[in-house]
Amino acid sequence: MNRPDPAPILDLIEAFRRSKTMFAALSFGIFDQLQREPQTPEMLARRTETDVDALRRLLDAVAALGLISRDEQNRYQNSPAAATYLAKQSPLSLAGYVKYSNEVLFPMWNHLEDAVREGSNRWEQSFGLTSGALFDRFFHTEEAMRTFLMGMHGFGTLSSPAVARAFDLGGFRRLVDLGGATGHFACAACEEYPRLRAVVFDLPRVIALARELIRKSPAAERVDCIAGDFFADSLPEGDLYVLGRILHDWPVVKIRELLHRIAHRLPAGGALLIAEKLLDEDHLGPVHAHMQSLNMLICTEGRERSLREYRELLVNAGFRSVEGVSTGSPLDAILARK
């Protein structure tokens, strides 16, 4: 009897174990320790206050995942990928997003069945927060806020340059990034287009960190920051507005409200650039977009959409031409012109 290959099933059975192995190593500061110097299990156990035998098993598992290696002196060191993306000291670090995934997303995904059964996010079930305080968990302390924002920053450094190049933005003069967080997209766009100026528009608590990180960009002199709430406050003047990973957070009624506000504020010939991961038109892929859509179910009131679904929302808000591009990065790009 010919049996189907069980490999995809077996792989998924243990997939969460691989994720948690990386999460645990990062939570113990392993990648930060190894960024300083190669270390033995005994050295690491003392510095991380862990059981040496148990830690050795974790280290060998992380090595098997290709994130660290061990030399002939029994010392472990970071792989190039870990040094770049998992050590906090790296300017391209994803450590904040990994920490957020471990401490927030991992517990919430444990309630996926309930989210599907009830059609609502799991903040209250997981952390005792009501849906009305949707983003309070991200900002409940200064450390939590910084961890979340730096996670988004690391993720943004992977996608923002590709989104900025997805369309020719050279004809625009003033970009306004609504909910622009740490300014990673505003900087990427200004670095790509020398005549462009940009404004990062976000909540007052976010702007302080944005200014800190924008200073590191070679285009820093052309990137300003303005504090505000894009649902409540007057939008800064611009001919190109940007929404990066914003629309997928909200239900349709809030999306329509925001798109109408932007369309009303834009001058003739202005445009809106959206960065989101697009679903295929038949909604059968890609896998990453579907995992993110489930993540939105668990964490927010939103979802991922196809280009056709975004086009319908944008046309109804007053935009005329709507184009979409698959960038090959974690986020795709949509350009809607008024």
Q: Other CB atoms closer than 10 Å to residue 127's CB: what's the count?
A: 14
Residue 301 contacts residue 131 (beta carbons within 8 Å): yes
Where helices occur in 231-306 by DSSP H, the ranges are 252-265, 287-299
E-only strand ranges, the chain? 68-70, 76-78, 174-178, 197-202, 223-227, 240-244, 271-276, 322-325, 332-337
Which candidate in 111, 184, 248, 288 is catalytic? 248
Task: Locate the DSSP E strands across 131-219.
Answer: 174-178, 197-202
**How far apart (Å, rounded) are the C-alpha atoms in residues 142 and 165?**
33
Backbone torsion region of residue 128, taken as left when φ is above 0, otherwise alpha when ψ lies between -120 and 50, otherwise beta: left
Cα–Cα dist 121/116, whole Å: 9
The pair of three-digit structure tokens given for residue 189, joined into one six-digit string = 């766009």
H or E element at residue 37: none
- Cis geometry, peptide bond prior to residue 107 (ω within 30 degrees of 0): no
Report the length, in residues, of the chain: 338
Neighbouring C-beta atoms of residue 210, cutoff 10 Å: 25
Instruction: Determine phi and psi for 334, rounding to 5 degrees.
Output: -130, 130
Active site residue 248: yes
- The residue written with tokens 């806020």 in the block is 145
Q: How far apart are CA 207 and CA 48, in angstroms?
A: 34
Do 176 and 242 form a contact (C-beta atoms < 8 A)? yes
Helix (H) or strand (E) holding 228: none
Closest CA to 291 of 92, 112, 65: 112
DSSP string, 253-267: HHHHHHHHHHHHHSP
Q: Which residues are catalytic?
A: 248
